[in-house]
Amino acid sequence: MADGKDDFGMHSNRTSAVPRKRVWWWIGAGLLVCLLTLLVVGEVMVRRAGPILRGRVVETLQTRFHSRVELDYFDVSLLHGFAVTGSGLRIYSQDDVVTAGANDPLITVGQFEFHTPLRSLFVKPMHVGTVRVAGMTIRIPPRQERVADAPARRRRGKIEVIADEILVENSTLVIGTAKANKDPKRFALERIRLRHVGEGEPMEYEATLMNAFPRGQIHASGAFGPWNAEQPGESAVRGDYVFDHAELNSIKGVGGTLSSAGSFNGRLNRIEADGTTTTPDFSLDTANHPMPLATHYRAVIDGTNGDTYLQSVQAKLGGSEFTCAGAILNVKGKGHITDLDVDIPAGRLRDFLELAVKTRPPFMQSGISMKMHLRVPYGRESVTKKLEMQGRFRLRQIRFTNPQVQDKVDMLSLRAQGNPKDARPGASDVPSQMSGSLVLSRGQMTVSQLNYLLPGAQVALDGVYSLDGKTFDFHGKVRTAATVSQMVATGWKSFLLKLADPFFSKHGAGAEIPVKITGTEGAPKFGLDFGGGKKSEAAQEKDDLQSRRDELTPDGRIARHPSPGLPIPRSRR
């Protein structure tokens, strides 16, 4: 075996196995040392990278907002490069704003995270791809909480971190106001994507926010900034929005599904908006008759308190076009007040009656011109119960949908003209018009100075009408061109009534007869009213005074409305 062979003439493997095991042992030991070294190095890098990255984040935010920044938790791991997580981030307003009373943080972040490769640790500024943020609240203090003459105190520093994109989930924007009667304006922002987040440059954004009234999602995109750290409300904003499938039934008393689109531009405290709305099934709970409503509006929105000033609204309800202007004002702890001036130059009465009145078809059809002031005060009641209106109207080419009512009007006209023999059911419809003043409050309409003109007659009424159609109570006078005796077809009755002509012929009319219309919208009752509906002298004087006030012209003078003359019947010519 001196030559390395055993008794059978074979080489021994014992001497070669020992060195081979030693080689593998040294390889394993080396790998273990390398692994331990990497772990030690990684631990050292993480320990050093944590404070470095934390410092860069804080320095960047302090430089951007020129204010104090606090960060409760910050952690770095080596998963897929540097994985950074943090929570409890608070960014305060500038020192002078805090001194003026804005003690709450300007921005509060619940959690944030981002990833960055190892090499970015050695590059300044450090680039980060996407930062994910959750549970953020932005509080913009009112302008009055900033000391006007205080110099801007910019914190020295530089931008250490640049994010290509910021994704924010479930955030809230709160815009404060110093006005005692205003609530801070809150916006629930479900999702925001910010791009090109750089110093002194506008940020591109895509946002989804939930609108409370009417309830629905708004999708907006555009540009925001640059951020004005001294006066956040002065920060610029512009963009386009789409508001689809907004449920109007979130507003008590109103129904329908609204869609809107438009654009806006300005600053947070003054945003100019231009857009359109479409509601194919707009309805009020007094009637529940869906009607198509479309508008084009121009408005100025004060984002600091939620007040909206409608400069111009071009609207179309059914086949009626009208315009309005006014304001929707926020009242602290109460809700909103809607205050509008409405002008209907040439609409269709049926469109407005179908929207507001339960009875169908509407009891009257005509053209309508109206100027009115509309107000919806705050409160938990239905809009239709809160709605207040005051104005003047004129109806043209009136036709009553109830044949019996229309026949009575036609026969009244023929008798008033001195043609009683033609006054029978089925007579040709007569042209008529109506004008007057109305006041609507709590679902009840009070009509005054109602002047109804038809051939041969003038009807002057005052009364009350409820939108549910259950109350119809009007009293007044009918002035006719013919005398009482001329309105009767039977010869002997006409002869006997000649004795009564002097008692009814007043103020230049052939006859002046007190009348009343009572009952319900669907079944009105016509009759004479000898004293039953007569007002007291004091009440009449009060109504006359109120009507004179209602008729003030824009320069403060009393408007005069001369009564049109009545035609003289043929028998009296």
Q: Is the Cβ–Cβ distance between 481 and 505 less than 8 Å?
A: no
Q: What DSSP assignment string belongs to 204-258?
A: EEEEEEEETTTBEEEEEEEEE----SS-GGG-EEEEEEEEEEEEGGGSTTEE-EE
Query: Pick from 215, 242, 258: which residue ends a domain?
Result: 258
Query: Pick from 205, 235, 258: which residue ends a domain?
Result: 258
Helix (H, G, I), strand (E, B) or coil at 336: strand
Bridge partners (DSSP) of residue 276 are 261, 296
- The verdict on residue 183 lying in a domain is yes
Rounded to whole angstroms, the Cα distance separating 85 from 77 reads 9
Query: Pick from 258, 285, 302: which residue ends a domain?
Result: 258
**Residue 209, Cα to own-chain centre: how many angstroms?**
14
- The verdict on residue 36 lying in a domain is no
Nearest to 329 by CA among 340, 318, 315: 340
User: b or e along 515-551 (b: 16 or more beta carbons within 10 Å of the residue's beta carbon)?
Assistant: bbbbeebeebeeeebeeebeeeeeeeeeeeeebeebe
Q: Is the Cβ–Cβ distance between 316 and 282 less than 8 Å?
A: no
Tokens of 194: 């910010």
Q: Is pLDDT of 198 > 70?
A: no
Which pLDDT band holds residue 381 (cuts at 50, 70, 90)?
Answer: confident
Query: Quick check: pTM over 0.95?
Result: no
**Tally of domains in the chain:** 2
Structure-token match 């007002």, residue found: 535
Domain of 494 in residue numbering reads as 402-573
pLDDT digits (tens, 9 = 90+) for 344-361: 999 999 999 888 887 778
Mean pLDDT of the chain: 78
Bridge partners (DSSP) of residue 271 are 266, 301
Quick check: bond before 202 cis, omega within 30?
Answer: no
Q: Report the chain's terminal Cα–Cα distance, integer Å.
A: 164
- The verdict on residue 369 lying in a domain is no
Which pLDDT band holds residue 437 (cuts at 50, 70, 90)?
Answer: very high
- Per-residue pLDDT, 534: 47
- HEC readout, 133-164: EEEEEEEECCHHHCCCCCCCCCCCCCCCEEEE
Rounded to whole angstroms, the Cα distance separating 367 from 347 reads 6
- Per-residue pLDDT, 259: 92
- Per-residue pLDDT, 102: 62
- Per-residue pLDDT, 281: 94
- The verdict on residue 143 lying in a domain is yes
Bridge partners (DSSP) of residue 166 are 131, 194
pLDDT digits (tens, 9 = 90+) for 254-306: 899 999 999 999 887 788 999 999 999 999 888 889 999 999 999 988 766 67
Of the segments 110-119, 328-337, 502-511, 538-547, which one has the largest average pLDDT value? 502-511
Stretch 191-217: mean pLDDT: 81
Q: Is pLDDT of 517 > 60?
A: yes
User: b or e along 76-104 (b: 16 or more beta carbons within 10 Å of the residue's beta carbon)?
Assistant: beeeeebebebbebbbbbbbbbbebebee
Q: Burial of 3 by CB count in 10 Å (0-12 exposed, 13-18 middle, 19+ buried)?
A: exposed
Cβ partners under 8 Å of residue 187, min gap 6? 172, 173, 174, 175, 209
Rounded to whole angstroms, the Cα distance separating 138 from 225 reads 15
Q: Is the Cβ–Cβ distance between 167 and 131 less than 8 Å?
A: yes
Q: What DSSP assignment string belongs to 524-549?
A: EEEEE-SSTTPPPHHHHHHHHHHHHH
Stretch 423-438: mean pLDDT: 90
- The rounded percent of the chain whose pLDDT value lies above 90 is 23
